[in-house]
């Protein structure tokens, strides 16, 4: 019993850096790109920072650690401040998942460099870096699902014709039900596992070529 508790707590500890980094990088990237495209809302709300306190939702963080489903503080934007609202909203939506993939790639490069340079590091550090890679890839995949209000839904909505986009927006009232169904069934594993392996395989191939 106590061994199980100890293992659970250890998993939470080694997973915490990966979760926090994934949250902060994701939300900061949304804010930074929105600001660069002309929307000052993220700046006014104090989101142009890498300080975890500005982006991490405590309840969402605990939920992620306990049940692997949680959330960060959403970055509020006003597309009307953009010169091209539909295009720029897509760019802002892509910024979060893209930054997570870049973060995962950088973490993998660091791990490979440590190994190639024969720099000693503990097994605990190896696990932490692996969790950073996994959580960031997972954040990118999950947020690209076309379920409102995830990033994927923003992208799809802006690509649809106006009338279809309006109808698609009405699905947001059912988004929580969709998420529960996905999380309570094996559906997500059929998406996550193959995509995880595919993305990691690409990253590993690139790193092997570069290093």
Tens digit of each residue's pLDDT (9 = 90 or more) over 33-55: 999 999 999 999 999 999 999 99
Q: Are 68 and 127 in contact (CB under 8 A)?
A: no
| 2 band by pLDDT with thresholds 50, 70 and 90 | very low
Q: What is the rounded distance in angstroms from the CA atom of residue 95 to the CA atom of residue 151?
A: 9
Q: Please give the pLDDT value at position 149.
A: 84
Question: In angstroms, rounded to a whole number, what is the distance separating the alpha carbons of residues 211 and 193?
Answer: 26
pLDDT value, residue 7:
59
What pLDDT, in 10s, does the model give residues 63-104?
Answer: 887 777 778 999 999 999 999 999 999 999 999 999 999 999
CA 125, CA 71: separation in Å to the nearest integer?
25
Is residue 1 over pLDDT 50? no
Question: Of the residues 27, 118, 169, 172, which is catalytic?
Answer: 27
The per-residue pLDDT for 207 is 94
- Give the tens place of pLDDT for each residue, 128-157: 999 999 999 999 999 998 988 899 999 999
pLDDT band with cut points at 50, 70 and 90 for residue 6: low
Contact residues for 184 (Cβ-Cβ < 8 A; gap 6+):
none
User: The pTM is what?
Assistant: 0.91
pLDDT tens-digit map of 167-207: 888 888 888 888 778 777 777 778 888 999 999 999 999 99
| Per-residue pLDDT, 158 | 93
Enclosing domain of residue 168 = 2-210
Peptide linkage before 76 cis (omega within 30 of 0): no
Q: Is 27 a catalytic residue?
A: yes
Mean pLDDT across the stretch 114-133? Answer: 87
Supply the DSSP symbol for 172: G
The per-residue pLDDT for 111 is 92
The domain tally of the chain equals: 1
The number of beta carbons lying within 10 Å of the beta carbon of residue 54 is: 19
Q: What are phi and psi of 86, to 5 degrees?
A: -70, -50
């Amino acid at each position: 019993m106590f061994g199980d508790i100890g293992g659970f707590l250890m998993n939470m500890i080694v997973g915490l850096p990966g979760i926090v980094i994934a949250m902060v990088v994701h939300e900061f990237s949304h804010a930074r790109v929105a600001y660069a495209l002309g929307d000052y809302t993220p700046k006014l709300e104090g989101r142009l920072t890498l300080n975890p306190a500005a982006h991490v939702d405590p309840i969402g963080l605990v939920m992620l650690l306990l049940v692997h489903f949680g959330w960060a503080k959403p970055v509020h934007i006003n597309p009307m401040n953009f010169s091209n609202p539909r295009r720029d909203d897509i760019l802002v939506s892509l910024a979060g998942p893209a930054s997570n993939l870049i973060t995962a790639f950088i973490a993998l490069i660091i791990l490979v460099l440590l190994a190639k340079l024969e720099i000693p590091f503990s097994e605990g550090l190896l696990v932490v870096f692996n969790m950073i890679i996994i959580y960031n890839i997972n954040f990118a995949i999950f947020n690209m699902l076309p379920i409102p209000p995830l990033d994927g839904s923003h992208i799809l909505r802006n690509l649809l014709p106006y009338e279809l986009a309006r109808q698609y927006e009405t699905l947001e009232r059912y988004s929580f039900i969709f998420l529960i169904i996905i999380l309570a069934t094996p559906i997500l594993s059929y998406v996550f596992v193959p995509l995880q392996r595919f993305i990691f395989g690409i990253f590993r191939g690139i790193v092997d070529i570069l290093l």
